[in-house]
Every structure is written in C-alpha cells, then in structure tokens.
Amino acid sequence: MALRGLVYYRGRSKMVLKAVVNGVIAVLWIGVICAGEVARYDNYRVYRLIAKSNDHLKTLHELQDSSDSYIFLEKGLKVGDGFNIVVAPHKLADFTEMLDVDGIKAEILDTNLQRSIDEEKYRMQSKRTKGIFDWNEYHELEEIHNWLDKLALNYEQVEVVEAGHSYENRTIKGVKVSYKSGNPGIFLEGGIHAREWISPATVTYILNELLTSQDPKVRNISENYDWYIFPNVNPDGYVYTHKKNRLWRKTRTPYSRACFGADPNRNWDFHWAEQGTSDRCNTETYGGPYAFSEVEMKSLSQYIESLKGKIQAYIAFHSYSQVLLYPYGHTIEHTPNHDDLTDIANATVTALAKRYGTKYYYGNTYEAIYPASGSSADWVYNTLGVRVAYTYELRPSPSSWNSGFILPSEQIVPTGEETLDSLVTLVEESAKRKYFEL
C-alpha cells in the first residue's frame, strides 16, 4: 500500500511538475509575445531626396501607397519639393533600384533609425537627475504633469487647469499663468502630434522662462498676458511613443481590431475631411469618422470655446521643418488679415534666427507646405475669431543629419531659447497692430 502510495505520489508529483513546467513555458511565451509588441526600426534607413520632375513625383507618390515598409516623414507635392522617407531593411534593394531606374538622387540621413531611438532612450534613462525637471532630456508624460502640479504649489500666479480626459482616461492637463486680472489671453498648444517630442519640451521651456526669466522683454509678455499652456494635448499618443512606437503620430482611439487613432490635427470641425486628410484609418492623416470624433479634441475645443473673447492668440507647436504657418490650410484663399500675419511672421522668424542663425520660412499653410484641413489653429481662427493663430514647425530642418522627430536632446535648450526670442517678437508685433484689445 505504502509502495503503491509512493508510486502514486511520484506519478502525481511528475504530473504536477509537468504542469508547472508547461505553465512556465506558457508564461515565457506570453512574455515573448508581450516583449514583441514594441515597434522596432532596426536597420531602417532615413533617406532625403528631391523630386526633380513630374515623373519623380509620380514614382514617389505611388511608392507611398504601395507598402507600409516606407514611412514618409516629409512628403512633397510639387516638383522641387523634398521627401524624407524611412525605408525598411527588406525594401532597401527595391528602393535603391527604383532610385537608379528613375535617376533620383538621394542622401542617407540615418543608417539605423533604431540606434537613434535607443540612444535617445538611453540618455533619457541614464542622464536624468532624479527629482529634477530640466531641459537636458525629454520627459515622460507623468514627469511633465508632476512638474505642472509643482509649479502651481510654488507660484501663486500658476493654476492647474484641465481640458477634459483622453480616450484612455488621462488628464489633458495645462496651467494658467496670470500676474494680474484683465490681461488678454494667449494659448500655447503642445504635443498634438505624439512623436513630435520637441513640442512639449519647447512649450515647457517657454513656461519655465515666463516664470523665472529676468529678461525685461520676457517679463513684459509674461506679466501683461494671461497664458493658457498645454504641453501635451494628445496624452495617450505621447505615452504610446514612449512605451510602444516612437513614430506614433495620432490618438489611440480604437477604430477596428487592427486600426487605432485619428490625426488630431485633422479632426477639428472646420472644413473637416476636405483637404490633405484621409478617410482610411490606417493612414497618418486619418481625420476620424466625423469631426471631433476624438474625445481629446472635442473637450479641448470646448475648453477653448469657454475662453471665447479672452484668448487673443493661439500658437500650436509641431515639428519638424522650421516653418512658421498661419491660416488657412483648406484653401489657397487668403484670410482677411493675411498681410498682417505675413508681416508678423517675417519679424518673428527674423528674431528667431538672431541667436543661432536657425532659418525658418513662413506662409499660409496651403501655400507654404500643403493643403490640410481640420486643424486646431484654423478652427480657432475661424470659430473663435482669434486673428493671431500660428503653427510652428520646430527644429530640425528637413535636410539636417538626423531623423527628424528624433531631435538630439542637446538641442532642446537652443530650440527653446530661439523660439522664446521669436515669441517675444510675435507678441510685440501683434500688440503693435492692436490685436490684443479686449
């Protein structure tokens, strides 16, 4: 009996052992599947080329629709326009043959995109001084939100404000900075496109300077305007770029099992879905199923609407290209104050270039870059009558030697400095033209 019991016990323990081993294998498998969920760009190359003829344009536009192994970071519309294209390693042979056949000359801006992404991550993790929020490195959403909370504790002029919640229930957090009552309001929008990390970095840099700078020109704009500053208006997208896919642009609303997100800067209810946007979810410029389908943009627009009359200027920060844009994006027709917007932009980019020689060009969106409708700046211009509405496309320039959205973090401070220089001029020049009368 005892022997039988032992054999039975041994048999059972074998079974238990087997079950445990199977369980461990299953857990390992799940682990492997989870680890595989992070998008990687090993040996993806970034190319820069110029379309020199209509044939070139045709080839490149066909290429764009042919496969998602080509990621178009910048795409031209006319002869002479530039393209920045990320090419997957298994497409390199096809791609370079196509360039040869069509006589298109290209330069390589990055030989391994993943290495640039890894370097950026490594710096974020290793160089960070614990507990200190600075502009030497990029920051995660939580760190930015904690910093905003701290500002409100440390400065009586700062109040934390909220413009609703994201699809994944993150706060759309901002601050209002006010030194006195009766000031006209200026709204700064950051991070609408998730991968454009220099945007929230620059917006937080500007916010910090508005509070701490001793420069009389900065003090003047800081204290004579009320500032509504939102570094990350697409928080789910921003978190996704940190955790899963560095090149994510859109929101994270699920639209089908295999397709997520709409372009938040094509989702606003002004000439929605007309120009430079797509009705296919699987594209970077998907405008969403209807205007304001994205809860983030719906609630942000309601928040902005609640400030109607108070907000006199709206400034959105994107990257990249080094361009200063103003409405409209849906039509070549000029706005009623086009000439003023042009003159202000001219002075603004001149001020920006002074410190480091960084060159920007400027113009109305439709003519300066491409048709694009349903953007925040155009909606604010039209719906709220905010006549000073600008969109910055920050560093780098499309031909610089790096990967566009992966701007080395040592450029955060210089970008912040020159952008603040330019913002001072933008505000002063607008004030001169009486745009801030309440």
Would you say 104 or 233 has its CB closer to Zn ion? Answer: 233
The residue ranges that bind ligand 0X9 (CB under 6 A) are 193, 196, 265, 318, 325, 327, 329, 365, 372, 375, 377-378, 391, 393
The pairing of strands 171-177 and 226-230 is antiparallel
Single-letter amino acid code for the residue at 87: V
Task: Give min distance, CB of 36 to ligand 0X9, in A.
Answer: 29
Task: Give min distance, CB of 263 to Zn ion, in A.
Answer: 9
232 binding partner (options Zn ion, ligand 0X9, none; Cβ < 5 to 8 Å by kind): none
Q: Look up 393 and say whether it is catalytic.
A: yes
Cβ density class 298-320: b for 16+ within 10 Å, e for less: bbbbebbeebeebbbbbbbbbbb
Single-letter amino acid code for the residue at 158: V
The residue ranges that bind Zn ion (CB under 5 A) are 193, 196, 318
284 binding partner (options Zn ion, ligand 0X9, none; Cβ < 5 to 8 Å by kind): none
Task: Give min distance, CB of 158 to ligand 0X9, in A.
Answer: 28
Q: Which of 137, 209, 393, 417 is catalytic?
A: 393
378 binding partner (options Zn ion, ligand 0X9, none; Cβ < 5 to 8 Å by kind): ligand 0X9
372 binding partner (options Zn ion, ligand 0X9, none; Cβ < 5 to 8 Å by kind): ligand 0X9
Burial of 177 (0-12, 13-18, 19+ CB in 10 A): buried
Cβ within 8 Å of residue 191, ≥6 positions away: 199, 200, 203, 230, 231, 232, 233, 234, 235, 237, 238, 317
322 binding partner (options ligand 0X9, Zn ion, none; Cβ < 5 to 8 Å by kind): none
Task: Give min distance, CB of 276 to ligand 0X9, in A.
Answer: 7
Would you say 151 or 323 has its CB closer to ligand 0X9? Answer: 323
- Bin 321: left if φ > 0, else alpha if -120 < ψ < 50, else beta: left
Q: Which residue is nearest to ligand 0X9 (CB)?
A: 329
Distance CA 351, CA 312 (A): 21
Three-state SS for 293? Answer: coil
324 binding partner (options Zn ion, ligand 0X9, none; Cβ < 5 to 8 Å by kind): none
Dump the DSSP string for 318-368: EESSSEEEES-SS-SSPPTTHHHHHHHHHHHHHHHHHHH----EEEEHHHH
Task: Give min distance, CB of 368 to ligand 0X9, in A.
Answer: 9
Burial of 397 (0-12, 13-18, 19+ CB in 10 A): middle
Q: Are 188 and 206 in contact (CB under 8 A)?
A: yes
Task: Give min distance, CB of 345 to ligand 0X9, in A.
Answer: 12
Tell me the residue length of the chain.
438
Would you say 196 or 226 has its CB closer to ligand 0X9? Answer: 196
Cβ within 8 Å of residue 293, ≥6 positions away: 253, 262, 267
Tell me the catalytic residues. Answer: 393
